[in-house]
């Protein structure tokens, strides 16, 4: 049903009387920071819903945005009136842009108590292995109903319209259905969470995190387009030089040039026989794909490391590909992502994409900005603080290893962390049975590879390839590791046993991840499932940890979290949380308070969980993100 102008008072009364309200917004865009509100839909009992338009092709039939929001604001901002939604972060941001703060979806009472909820997040906690947590997918899977596809209303592709152009007789059933389905999904999923004893995780961590992530997306981070253009110009100059070098090398080696962007032509130059119609260098083919010899990064790296291969072409192509990706994927796209109103990039942070519980980012994906090379890291120079402010970046040190020590209860690993030793050297000393001071660089590198690879199921073959040693030498390193750190071996076995017994594994916060192939008859699938079982416990617990720290810091520093402080102001005024990237948090703070902010962030991150080993957070302050690392 639609809420017409003449019957407006009758449509608002059910909201005031309802025990809980399912709410959904219709807008002009997918991205909330660029979307205008078109209407709101509500449901308070299953099987019915209504739509309140504020923009449409028939504006004379309904009230305008200011009037509607003025009437609805008391209900929407009432924290005692439970709100239900699907992807509520989106609705929070859309309504905030319209001047309304949605409240009532997060409890300020206790970890296991919540007044409202988000069916998308509930779905992810109930079954993280679902291929999709979208409303349409869940409606089909859980309610056995097919929702009206949005494409039937606005089309798709280049001819796609915006929702404010859809006639009300078509917009209303679609919008009202969204609220009704949301209500029914919540009624189905929220009791399941309680039965699975996931109430504390949902109400105490994941739902409060919705507000934190909305804050990150709202705040965004300032980006200097001139710095991106400077880097682009410098790198494009090097790309041009590389093209010329590659052409010269090919002409000198095989008497012809080739397109550096064509894997097929590159394969011909590297692997064709010298007397072929299109002559090549005649190198040994390392790996084949569906269309012929592979020239992926792994192949080119092997060729560049092979002392018998004299041509520099593999090295040149590796550099060429890296630089062209930097330009096209990051330097160009990041400029296009800058919001012209705020001069900031407002990336989206997602709770329901990674099955481990890790956050992901999109539009743009800031987690993919390369940090392993100096040129990649320099992109962070373009992420800057506002005038009069500084960036504070803090990240956990070796968090997965520390969690592994805690979870495995291995005494040798725990002792090394408690004593503040160089953990990789300490592990190498144990493996090779030598004094800590006598550990060689090669021994430390081997231990480091095993340390970081053990929860991912590192094999002798994989370790040998990374270290450049034989499979037998790599196997000896892994065997020595498992002998010296028996607690870790036992823990890995316990993870696999739990997956066999229950069909899932749990993190420290009881987050579940189903491991469907753990009993597969296919040896490869079963081995992959075993690695997934181990990795999910450690990586998922790391995700829990940083989320706990984020919620805690949000409540202490955000001006929108006053309810958690009994109405008091932030512990330090003027601080904004901007980014969460892997194990790192980035904040913006006034210059004269940045040092105090750094100290508070480190203290709270290190106190986020009580472990058998100390948590360590490293933080620094700078005018740009590059300098803050």
pLDDT digits (tens, 9 = 90+) for 259-270: 999 999 999 999
What residues contact residue 578 under an 8 Å CB cut-off, 6+ apart?
Answer: 216, 219, 220, 221, 391, 586, 587, 588
Contacts of 193 (CB under 8 A, 6+ apart): 122, 125, 126, 199, 202
Mean pLDDT within 464-477: 81
What domains can be seen in the chain, in order of their start residue?
5-219 (3.30.420.10), 225-333 (1.20.1060.10), 353-409+519-629 (3.30.70.370), 410-518 (1.10.150.20)
Q: What is the average pLDDT score of the chain?
A: 92
Task: Write the pLDDT tens digit of every residue in 22-74.
Answer: 999 999 999 999 999 999 999 999 999 999 999 999 999 999 999 999 999 99
Distance CA 460, CA 122 (A): 40
Residues 312-318, mean pLDDT to the nearest whole number? 95
Angle between helices 523-557 and 594-606 (to 10 degrees): 130
Identify which of 44, 43, 53, 42 has the alpha carbon closest to the alpha carbon of residue 3: 53
Structure tokens belonging to residue 44: 């308070």
The pLDDT, as a whole number, for residue 111 is 47
pTM of the model: 0.91
Q: Render pLDDT for 593-606 as a digit per residue (tens, 0 to 9).
A: 999 999 999 999 99
Asked if residue 228 has pLDDT above 60, the reply is: yes
Residue 10 has pLDDT above 80, yes or no: no
Partners of 580 in the β-ladder? 585
Q: What is the pLDDT of residue 6?
A: 58
For the stretch 269-272, contacts whose Cβ atoms lie closer than 8 Å and that sit 24 or more positions apart, written own/partner, are: 269/313, 270/295, 270/303, 270/313, 270/314
SS3 of 578, please?
A: strand
Cα 586-589-590 angle, rounded to 5 deg: 160
On the question of pLDDT at 103 being above 50, the answer is yes
Q: How confident is the model at residue 110 (pLDDT cuts 50, 70, 90)?
A: very low
Q: Return d(Cα 101, Cα 562) in angstroms, integer.
A: 13
* Average pLDDT for 177-187: 97
- Quickly tell me which residue has 């089309």 as its tokens: 155
The token pair that represents 217 in the structure block: 């997306």
Question: What mean pLDDT is predicted for residues 317-334?
Answer: 92
Of 263, 282, 264, 262, residue with least CA distance to 272: 282
Type and span of the H or E element at 579: strand 576-581
Is the predicted pLDDT of residue 620 greater than 60, yes or no? yes
Q: Please report the beta strands in 193-345, taking only residues with DSSP state E, as ranges in sequence order.
A: 221-223, 288-289, 292-293, 344-345
Q: Is the pLDDT of residue 112 over 60?
A: no
Residues with Cβ within 8 Å of residue 185, at least 6 apart in sequence: 86, 119, 122, 123, 135, 138, 139, 142, 143
How far apart CA 487 and CA 422 sit, in angstroms, is 20
pLDDT of 113: 55
In which residue are the tokens 């940045």 written?
594
């Amino acid at each position: 049903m639609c809420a017409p102008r003449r019957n407006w008072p009758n449509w608002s009364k059910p909201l005031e009387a309802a025990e809980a309200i399912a709410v959904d917004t219709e807008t002009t865009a997918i991205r909330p920071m660029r979307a205008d509100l078109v209407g709101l839909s509500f449901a308070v009992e299953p099987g019915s819903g209504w739509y309140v338009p504020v923009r449409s092709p028939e504006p004379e039939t309904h009230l305008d945005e200011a009037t509607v929001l003025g009437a609805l604001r008391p209900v929407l901002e009432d924290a005692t009136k439970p709100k239900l939604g699907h992807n509520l972060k989106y609705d929070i941001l859309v309504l905030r842009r319209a001047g309304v703060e949605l409240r009532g979806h997060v409890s300020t009472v206790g970890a296991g108590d919540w007044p409202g909820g988000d069916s998308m997040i509930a779905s992810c906690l109930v079954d993280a292995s679902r291929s999709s947590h979208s409303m349409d997918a869940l409606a089909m899977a859980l309610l056995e109903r097919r929702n009206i596809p949005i494409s039937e209303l606005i089309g798709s592709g280049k001819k796609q319209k915006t929702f404010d152009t859809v006639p009300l007789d078509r917009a209303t059933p679609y919008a009202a259905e969204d609220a009704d389905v949301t209500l029914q999904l919540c009624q189905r999923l929220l009791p399941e969470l309680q039965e699975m004893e996931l109430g504390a995780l949902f109400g105490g961590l994941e739902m409060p995190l919705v507000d934190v992530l909305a804050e990150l997306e709202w705040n965004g981070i300032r980006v200097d387009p001139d710095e991106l253009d400077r880097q682009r110009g410098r790198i494009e100059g090097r790309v041009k030089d590389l093209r010329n070098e590659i052409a010269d090398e090919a002409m000198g080696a095989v008497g012809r040039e080739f397109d550096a962007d064509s894997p097929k032509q590159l394969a011909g130059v590297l692997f064709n026989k010298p007397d072929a119609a299109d002559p090549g260098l005649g190198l040994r083919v390392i790996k084949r794909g569906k269309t012929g010899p592979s020239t992926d990064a792994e192949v080119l790296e092997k060729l560049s490391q092979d002392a018998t291969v004299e041509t520099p072409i593999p090295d040149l192509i590796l550099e060429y590909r890296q630089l062209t990706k930097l330009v096209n994927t990051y330097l160009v796209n990041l400029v296009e992502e800058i919001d012209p109103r705020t001069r900031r990039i407002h990336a989206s942070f997602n709770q329901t994409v990674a099955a481990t519980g890790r956050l992901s980012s999109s539009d743009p994906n800031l987690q993919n900005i390369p940090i392993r090379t100096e040129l990649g890291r320099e992109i962070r120079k373009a992420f800057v603080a506002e005038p009069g402010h500084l960036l504070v970046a803090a990240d956990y040190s070796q968090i997965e290893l520390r969690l592994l020590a805690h979870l495995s209860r291995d005494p040798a690993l725990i002792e090394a962390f408690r004593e503040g030793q160089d953990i990789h050297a300490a592990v190498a000393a144990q493996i090779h049975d030598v004094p800590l001071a006598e550990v060689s660089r090669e021994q430390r590198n081997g231990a480091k590879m095993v340390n970081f690879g053990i929860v991912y199921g590192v094999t002798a073959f994989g370790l040998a390839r990374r270290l450049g040693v034989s499979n037998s030498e790599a196997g000896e390193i892994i065997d020595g590791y498992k002998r010296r750190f028996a607690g870790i071996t036992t823990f890995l076995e316990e993870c696999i046993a739990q997956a066999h017994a229950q069909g899932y594994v749990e993190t420290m916060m009881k987050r579940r991840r189903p491991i469907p192939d753990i009993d597969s008859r296919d040896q490869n699938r079963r081995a992959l499932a075993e690695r997934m079982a181990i990795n999910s416990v450690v990586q998922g617990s790391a995700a829990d940890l940083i989320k706990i720290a984020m919620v805690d810091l949000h409540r202490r520093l955000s001006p929108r979290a006053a309810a958690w402080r009994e109405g008091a102001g932030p512990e330090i005024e003027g601080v904004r949380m901007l980014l969460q990237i892997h194990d790192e948090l980035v904040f913006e703070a006034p210059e004269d308070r940045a040092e105090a902010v750094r100290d508070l962030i480190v203290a709270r991150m290190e106190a986020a969980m009580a472990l058998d080993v100390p948590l360590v957070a490293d933080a620094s302050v700078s005018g740009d993100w590059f300098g803050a690392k």
